[in-house]
Amino acid sequence: EIEIPESHPRYQSLLTRHRIEAGVEKGITSKQGLIAQGRGEAFDYLIGERTTESAEQAERVAAAHLLLADSPVLSVNGNVAALVPGEIVELAKATGAEIEVNLFNRTEERMEAIAEHLREHGAEEVKGLTADGRIPGLDHERAKVDADGIGNADVVLVPLEDGDRAEALGEMDKTELVIDLNPMSRSAQVASVPIVDNVIRAVPNMTDHARDLAAEPNSTLEGIIEEFDPEAALSAAEDAIRSGDME
Ligand code: PTJ
């Protein structure tokens, strides 16, 4: 364990790096996950390492979708498992969603290690290991999902998803909630709800919104969803990057 003083100006960023490194050492995160994290950090720096007003709104809309869904699923990869394992479990509990391990670079060892890691963080059931369903239009390994998990889901949260898979999932008529710091990525572009924020901030924010909205009638949740404009959310994120307003 390294010690990072909380007063350090880049405390959050250093803590995040450390978690990803530890994830690789534990066999949870792929080496490519390190590269993905670096890319994310660059965008986060430009956005000002904060949740913009527009991202906050998208997080509320995403929470409304999860609450309204018949079969919501939270997809977890090696980066998400390293960064926010307990927070994903909290979000699943607050929304009644299932958790499914869904890897871009799938290996049985990593699937098992991630499922175990999530259980250590309080998950009761972790899907993904049955792999008896397929996402059409992707090659064999990348298409694997659980038939009664992502296969059957009406709403799926996919943090840090690869563009091809995000597109293929969208074509399955699922409502896709995407967390991605790059507003120009294909995943963000094809999402029903693009959340341009760090997964570290986005997931706990979604849980707060879900708790806040839990007692609302469906009509209120539907209203929140209808008002949302994904194009406007992407433009707002690009504006935040271009303005250089880093607070
Ligand atoms: O564990 P696996 O095998 O499923 O692999 C996971 C990764 C993330 C390695 C894989 O899906 C991948 O290679 O993804 P990409 O194509 O690098 O895309 C990752 C996207 O997530 C990029 O657009 C990054 O900007 C963004 N990103 C990275 N870190 C974060 C992030 N977005 C939000 N929060 C982050 N912490």
pLDDT tens digits, 85-103: 999 999 999 999 999 999 9
- Which residues does ligand 1 sit against, CB inside 6 Å? 30, 32-33, 36-37, 39-40, 43, 77-79, 83, 103-105, 160, 162, 179-182, 185, 198-199
Which of 13, 37, 75, 79 maximizes ligand 1 atoms within 8 Å of its Cβ, making it the mutation to test the pocket? 79
| 39 annotated to a ligand binding site | yes
Quick one: pLDDT at residue 95?
A: 98
Q: How far apart are CA 225 and CA 205, in angstroms?
A: 17
Q: Is 186 annotated as a binding residue?
A: yes
Domains along the sequence of the chain with CATH:
53-243 (3.40.50.12640)
State how far the Cα of 148 lies from the Cα of 133, in Å rounded to an integer: 8
Q: How far is the CA of 36 from the centre of ligand 1 (A)?
A: 4
Residue 133: helix, strand or coil by DSSP?
strand
Q: How far apart are CA 75 and CA 187, in angstroms?
A: 14
pLDDT-derived band of residue 9, with 50, 70 and 90 as boundaries?
Answer: confident
Burial category of 109 from C-beta neighbours within 10 Å (exposed 0-12, middle 13-18, buried 19 and up)? exposed
Q: Is 106 annotated as a binding residue?
A: no
Residue nearest atom 21 in ligand 1 by C-alpha distance = 160
Question: What is the C-alpha to C-alpha distance for residues 58 and 240, in angstroms, rounded to an integer?
Answer: 15
Please give the pLDDT value at position 247.
53
Question: What span, in angstroms and rounded, lies between the C-alpha atoms of 178 and 168?
Answer: 13
Residue 245 has pLDDT above 70, yes or no: no
- pLDDT tens per residue across span 26-67: 999 999 999 999 999 999 999 999 999 999 999 999 999 999
Kindly state the tokens that stand for 120.
Answer: 């250590």
